Amino acid sequence: MKIAQIAPLYESCPPRLYGGTERIVSYLTEELVRQGHDVTLFASGDSVTSAKLEPFCETALRLDRRIRDPIPHHVVMLDRVREVADDFDVLHFHVDVLHFPLIRDFVDRTVTTLHGRLDLKELRPVFTAFSGAPLVSISYDQRRPVPPVNWAGMVYHGLPSNLLPFNANPSGGYLAFLGRISPEKGPDKAIEIARLAGARLKIAAKIDRVDQDYWEDVIKPMVQSHPNVEFVGEINEPEKAQFLGEASALLFPIDWPEPFGIVMIEAMACGTPVIAYPKGSAPEIIDDGVSGFLVHNVVEAASIAKRIHEFDRGRARAAFERRFSIKRVAHDYLGIYRSLPGVRHRIREGAAFWGSSPAEAAAFGHRQGGSDPKRLRRADDRIS
């Protein structure tokens, strides 16, 4: 299958430091290539991939201090995607809603994965106006505030199984916080949990400009006043393996509707249990008592942290392997791609097929309902 993956340009694929969406796009792209698909990645020029790379900026925009407005680069990229859309069987977008007005003519061969929070009031008119665009959520909780739209599926994120090694016997003796310094991520609560548990805490996190005042006014003074708390700063992928693998537990005291939370499955891959508040996707991701613990306040969290040494880390790793491998992610997305009316039409026309002959491809399209003309509406009828 000829697949276009269209990534945001804020980070490279994969990111050098922090970055969730681009990291998942990278893992999915590499797995699809590994499975024999012809994949083109539209991304920043410093991305590293085995797919064909179509670069639209020299380096990741967040790390380029010369860039003050990221939108123009994305507009240029999306216009190029529109120009070459016919070259692909399916186009998979990861750029929020920027592309919706540009895909009317081929919307039935597109999938848009929504990686962010969807409870923002300004998104409702967009989803209403473009209700025909096939969308994919990354958790069921993420869908709750969205008006009726064309959900093509729900796909939990995943990681390569060999990315983060399992550590059965960590020697670090600390609790970990990994992510962003922002109020909704709860670094203040993580510090309080560690204090109540009498435990060391290491914080590895980036600080966005918008959260600089929160760091200076709230978190930095807390770090400086607690001798058992260490601020590590932003870390890269190799450092992450050790940081999470040597931790006794990951603290995830979020105070917002987290759409997924990649760090939770990164910790599970290392065998590190997650102590999380049951908000957003956390109850869907964490098997309570198996891969981590769902708690409602800092007192409950501290109580769990005090006896976390009793936890069987092999159960967390097993949960990761069972539910969050990138092979499963690719399998889920391929099923969604093949269910799209426009893709079924290309199968029927012989432009793309999976099998040893066009006849087998045609049979596949028929099995998927491709022979029903009512299910192959024009693209402009599916997006308003």
Q: In the structure encoding, which two tokens stand for residue 95, read together?
A: 């750029």
Residues sharing a CB contact under 8 Å with residue 83, sequence separation 6 or more, in sequence order: none
State which H helix or E strand residue 43 sits in.
strand 38-43
Yes or no: say if 164 and 138 are a contact pair by the CB < 8 Å rule.
no
Beta pairing class for 274-276 and 292-294: parallel
The vertex-218 CA angle with 213 and 219, nearest 5°, equals 100
Distance between CA 171 and CA 169 in Å, rounded?
6
8-state DSSP, 68:
S
DSSP 3-state percent helix, strand, coil across the chain (nearest 5): 45, 15, 40
Identity of the amino acid at 9: L
Q: Residue 20: pLDDT band by 50, 70, 90 thresholds?
A: confident
* pLDDT(357) > 70: no
The average pLDDT across 227-252 equals: 94
Per-residue pLDDT, 345: 86
pTM above 0.75, yes or no: yes
Helices (H), the chain: 21-34, 71-83, 123-129, 187-197, 212-214, 220-225, 237-245, 262-270, 282-285, 298-306, 313-323, 326-339, 341-349, 358-367, 379-382
* pLDDT(362) > 50: no
Q: In the structure encoding, which two tokens stand for residue 192, read together?
A: 């309080």
**DSSP secondary structure string for all residues of 336-359:** HHHHSHHHHHHHHHTSS-SSSSHH
Lowest mean pLDDT among 52-66, 151-165, 287-301: 52-66
Q: Residue 232: pLDDT band by 50, 70, 90 thresholds?
A: very high
- When comparing pLDDT for 60 and 168, which is higher? 168
Beta pairing class for 90-93 and 52-55: unpaired
Half-sphere exposure of 145 (CA within 13 A, CB side): 16
Q: Which residues are 39's β-sheet partners?
A: 3
Distance between CA 65 and CA 341 in Å, rounded?
43
Condensed to tens digits (0 to 9), the pLDDT of residues 50-62 reads: 999 999 888 888 8
| Angle formed by the axes of helices 298-306 and 187-197, nearest 10° | 50
Delineate the domains of the chain, giving CATH numbers in brackets: 2-158+328-382 (3.40.50.2000), 174-323 (3.40.50.2000)
pLDDT, averaged across the chain: 90
- When comparing pLDDT for 372 and 295, which is higher? 295
